[in-house]
A and B are shown apart, each in its own frame.
Chain A
Amino acid sequence: MRKIAVLTVVAFCAAMMFSSLAFSARKTIIKIGINAPLTGDIPKVGEGSKYAAQMWLEDIENAGGLEVGGKKYEVELVIEDNESKAESAVKANTKMITQDDVLAIVGPQSSKQAVPAGEVANKYKTVMISPWSTNPSTTLDRPYVFRGCFLDPFQGPVVANFITEEFGFTKAAVLYDVASDYPKGLAEVFKQAWEDKHGAGSVVAYESFTTKDTDFSSQLTKIVKSGAEVLFTPQYYNEVPLIVSQAKNLGWTGPIVGSDSWGSAETIELCGEDCYGLFFSSHYAAAGAKGATKAFIDRYEKTYGYIPDDVAALTWDALRLAQQAIQDAGKLTGKIEKDREAVRDALAQIKDFDGITGKMTFTEEGDPIKCAVIVRINHQGEYEFYGSSCP
C-alpha cells in the first residue's frame, strides 16, 4: 500500500515537472512574474496586487496579446506567494527567474521582502519593479531594480512638514516596528526631518516594538507621559487598529498620523470609527479621483467589490511600465538574457510616464520622481484627498 502511495506521488511530481518544462520550451510567451504576499501578515496587499495584475492581463488578452515590434505575443502571469516573508520572497524570485523564465518581475510589495528580493533580481539581471517599497536600499546600486512609488527619505519630511504646517506642533512621538525594514527606515527619516525642523530632542518619545507584538501599552504609556502632541506610526494595517485603540484607551488625545502603509482597503474595516479623522501620506486618494485613475477605480470596484487601495493602483502602474518597457525594447529575440537586458534599458529611458498614481520619470537609481498625497480618513471611513506635496 505504502509503496503504491509513494510511487503515485513520485509519478505525479515527475509529470508536473515535465509538463512545465514542455510549456516553457516551445513558442515565446512573455511571462511576467508577480511576487506578492498572498498569505502572511498583509494578505490584503497580496490580494490587491493579484487583482490589479489580473485586470491588466485581461486588457492584454482582449487586445489579442502584447504587440512587440509588430508581432503579437501571448502573455502569462506567474504569481508566487511570498508569505510576507523575506526568505520566501527571495525563493519566489529565484524560482521565477531560473525556472519559469520570466521576462520581468513586479513586486514584492513591502520593503521587507523587496530589499532582499531585489538583490536576487539584480544578480540574475532581470528587471524587477517593486510597486510599493519605499525603502532606499531596494533600488540602491541595483541597475535592474526599479520602483513605482516615492521613497521614505521623501515621505518622512513630507509628513513632518504637513504636521508642522497643519497643526503647528513642535513635539512629536514615534512608535514603530524595529524588526521590519519599512517602518524602521521611515521612523528614522521622520525623526531626522522633525529634529531638523524643531531642534534636537523635539522627538520626545521614540518607541519601538517587534513584529507580532499586539500589546503596546508600555510604549504608549511612555508616549502619553512624554507630552508629545502628535504620534507618528508608520505601521501596516494589521497593527494600526491595535495601536490607535490602545493609545486612546491609555488617554492619548492628540492626532495620530501614518504613512502610505495605512492606505490598505482593510485598515478601516478593521479599525472602524477609531481611525476616523486621522491622516496619512500616500500615493493616491480614491475619493475625488479623476480621469484614468477614476476609470481604474470604477472598474476594479465593479469587478472585485471594493475600492482599490494604493497597492493595487501602484501595481497597475508598475505592470503598465513593464509593458511599455517591453514594447519600447523593439523586438524579442527569444533569448531570455538578452531580452531582459533590452527591457531594462528601455525602462530606464522612460520619461513622463502617465501613471494613475502620477507622472513618473526615473532617476539614475530607478526611483520615480512624483508627488505625495496627504489623505484624511473622513467620517464615512473613506480616504479623502486632503493636500499634496511635490518634491
Chain B
Amino acid sequence: MEPLIESFNYILQNIINALQRGSFYAVISIGYSMVYGVLMLFNFAHGDIFMVGTYIGFGIATVLLATFGGLVPPPVIFLATVVITMFLASWIGVFVEVAGYRPLRQAPRASAAITGLMIGIIFETTILIMLGAKRLSFPPLMETVNYHIGGIYITNVKAMIIIISLLLMLALHAFIQKTKWGMAMRAMSYDFLAVPLMGVSINIIAPLTFAVGAGLAAVAGILYGQAYPILDPYMGVLLGWKAFVAAILGGRGSIKGAALAGYLLGFIEIFVATVFPSTLRDFIAYSIILVILTFRPRGFFGMEHSTKLRL
C-alpha cells in the first residue's frame, strides 16, 4: 500500500505545481487573446507589459511596506498593492495602444506585430536604464506558511496564487458578459467595421481592452513576485512567448480557450518533466503542443476567420 500512496501523493504534488505554473500562463495569455479578439492583432509587447507591471508592483509594495508595514494587517497591504498596481499598469496598456498601435491601425498586421516587439525592447531597456542591471528581490507581502497535508506540501502563497488567478478570470468573465463595456468589446470582436457605426468608439474600446489586459498581467506580476521573488528586466520574454503559445492553443480571440490552454500548458510542462528527463522537458512539451495544433490548427475554441471571432 505504501508505495501506492506515495506515488499518489507525488502526482497530487505535481498537480499543485502545475496549477501554480498554469495560473501564470492562463492569466497572461488572456491578455493576448482579448487584444486579438478586439483588434485582430497579437500584442507582442504583452510579456513586457507583465514585466513592467511586476516592477510597478515591486515599487508600490516597497513603498507601502515602508510606510504602513506593521501598522496595518498584511492582507490590507497586499490588496492595496494589487489595486494601485492594477490601476497604474492599465495606463501602460493604454499608452501602448495609443502610442504604438493606433497610428498603425490601417497598416498591415505585420507592422503592428513588429511594433509590439519594439515596444517590448523599449520597456526592457527603459527598466534597465532606470534601475540598472542589479537584480531586485520582490518583498514578501505575507509570511510564507508551509502546510504539510498528508505527504503534500503547499504554501499559503501557492494556494493564494491559484485562488486569485481563478477569481480574476471569473471577474473578467463577468465584466465581459455583464457590463456595457464588455458588450461593446464582444460587439467589436464580432464586427470590427459595423460597431463604430452603432456609436461605439473604437478609440475607447481598444485602449480599454489593453488596459484590462495590462491590469491582469500586473496582478499576475505581483503573484509572480511572491512565488519567484527575483526581478529581471527580461523576465517577461519567455513567459510572454509561452503565454502566446497558450493563446494560440486556446484559439485566437477566445478567453475561455486561453485560460484553459494556459493551465494545459502548465500541466504538460510539469508532467513531462516528471516522466521524462527534465532536460527534454521543453522539447517534449512543445512537440506535444505542435501535434495538437497540427490537428486543431485553430486551437480549442478558434473560429474560422470568415465567421468572425468571438470573445
- Indicate if the CB atoms of B228 and A251 lie closer than 8 Å: no
A67, CB-defined interface residue at 8 Å: no
A209, CB-defined interface residue at 8 Å: yes
Q: Please classify how large the interface on chain B is, using the bins under 10, 10 to 19, 20 to 34, 35 or more.
A: 35 or more
Which residues of chain B come closer than 8 Å to A38, judged between CB atoms? 133
Nearest CB on B from A225, distance (A): 6
Q: Which listed residue, A44, A215, A250, touches B21 by the CB 8 Å rule?
A: A215
Q: Give A143-170 interface residues, CB cut-off 8 Å to B.
A: none
Complex: how many Å from CA A60 to CA B184? 70
Q: Give B88-147 interface residues, CB cut-off 8 Å to A.
A: 128, 132-135, 137, 144, 146
Size of A's binding interface in residues, CB under 8 A:
37
Say whether chain B's binding surface is mostly helix, strand, loop, or mixed. helix
A178, CB-defined interface residue at 8 Å: yes
Complex: how many Å from CA A239 to CA B230? 8
With most chain B CB atoms within 10 A of its CB, the pick from A47, A238, A245 is A245
- Indicate if the CB atoms of B135 and A218 lie closer than 8 Å: no
- Indicate if the CB atoms of A217 and B137 lie closer than 8 Å: no
With A221-B10, A238-B230 in contact, is A251–B148 under 8 Å at CB? yes
With A38-B133, A39-B128, A249-B144 in contact, is A218–B274 under 8 Å at CB? yes
Which residues of chain B come closer than 8 Å to A222, judged between CB atoms? 273-274, 278
* Binary CB contact string for chain B from 4 to 32 against chain A (1 if under 8 A, 0 otherwise): 00100010011001001100000000000
Complex: how many Å from CA A67 to CA B158? 62
B269, CB-defined interface residue at 8 Å: yes
With most chain A CB atoms within 10 A of its CB, the pick from B132, B153, B234, B237 is B153
Complex: how many Å from CA A215 to CA B282? 13
- Indicate if the CB atoms of A270 and B230 lie closer than 8 Å: yes
Which residues of chain B come closer than 8 Å to A338, judged between CB atoms? none
- Indicate if the CB atoms of A241 and B273 lie closer than 8 Å: no
Nearest CB on B from A337, distance (A): 35
Complex: how many Å from CA A248 to CA B155? 10
- Indicate if the CB atoms of A39 and B17 lie closer than 8 Å: no
With most chain A CB atoms within 10 A of its CB, the pick from B13, B21, B155, B158 is B13
Residue of A nearest to B13 (CB): A221
- Indicate if the CB atoms of A39 and B278 lie closer than 8 Å: no
Which residues of chain A come closer than 8 Å to B273, judged between CB atoms? 218-219, 222
B59, CB-defined interface residue at 8 Å: no
B238, CB-defined interface residue at 8 Å: yes
Q: Give A215-250 interface residues, CB cut-off 8 Å to B.
A: 215, 217-219, 221-222, 225, 237-239, 241-242, 245, 248-250
- Indicate if the CB atoms of B133 and A39 lie closer than 8 Å: yes
Beyond A208-B278, A266-B135, A272-B137, 19 additional contacts (C-beta under 8 Å) are A39-B128, A43-B132, A44-B135, A209-B278, A210-B282, A215-B17, A215-B227, A215-B228, A217-B17, A218-B14, A218-B278, A225-B6, A238-B230, A239-B230, A242-B228, A245-B229, A251-B146, A251-B148, A270-B229
Question: Would you list the 9 A-B pairs with minimal beta carbon distance, nearest first?
Answer: A43-B133, A217-B17, A218-B273, A214-B228, A39-B133, A251-B153, A218-B270, A208-B279, A207-B278
Between-chain CB contacts (< 8 Å), 5 pairs: A237-B135, A249-B146, A249-B155, A266-B134, A270-B229
